[in-house]
């Protein structure tokens, strides 16, 4: 077991190699340990990740605000504080703040993250679906 007190967190540099569009404020909560990396990221409105996937999946815990997320081939979906998202291994996706709201999430990434191309404005601005609430 490892306990990492706040004073020993890796700080605001965030996960090396992460790719974002817009202004984001990543905080490395736990550097890669046994193939698990934990980041907390504050996204400003319209800020988002690039397309990416995770070798063994990713868990997102939305802490504040409202954001958008999309898995490749699926609709853009609205996510809100309190939502938990599971992106299965290898699923290409992106996530970020909505056009009119910041969004903060903690990302638990399992295995290697494969970063791809930037999410276009057209992709980001597609009509978002609310889903079940």
- Among positive and negative, which fits the CA dihedral 19, 23, 24, 25? positive
Q: Average pLDDT for consecutive 10-residue bins of the chain (133 residues)?
A: 67 66 88 90 96 98 97 96 98 97 97 95 86 58
- Looking at residue 127, its pLDDT comes to 79
Note the pLDDT of residue 118.
Answer: 95
**What's residue 14's pLDDT?**
57
Q: pTM here?
A: 0.88
- Domain residue extents for the chain: 35-75+106-124
**pLDDT at residue number 17:** 63
Among 90, 100, 15, smallest CA distance to 55 is for 90
């Amino acid at each position: 077991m490892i306990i990492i007190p706040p004073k020993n967190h890796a700080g605001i540099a965030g996960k090396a190699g992460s790719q974002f569009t817009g202004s984001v404020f990543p905080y490395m909560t736990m550097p890669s340990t046994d193939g698990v990396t934990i980041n907390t990221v504050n996204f400003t409105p319209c800020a988002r990740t690039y397309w990416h996937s995770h070798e063994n999946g990713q868990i997102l815990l939305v802490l504040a605000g409202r954001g958008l997320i999309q898995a490749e081939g699926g609709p853009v979906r609205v996510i809100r504080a309190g939502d938990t998202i599971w992106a299965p291994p290898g699923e290409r996706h992106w996530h970020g703040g909505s056009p009119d709201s910041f969004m903060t999430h903690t990302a638990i990434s399992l295995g290697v993250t494969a970063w791809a191309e930037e999410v276009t404005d057209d992709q980001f601005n597609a009509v978002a679906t609310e889903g079940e609430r």
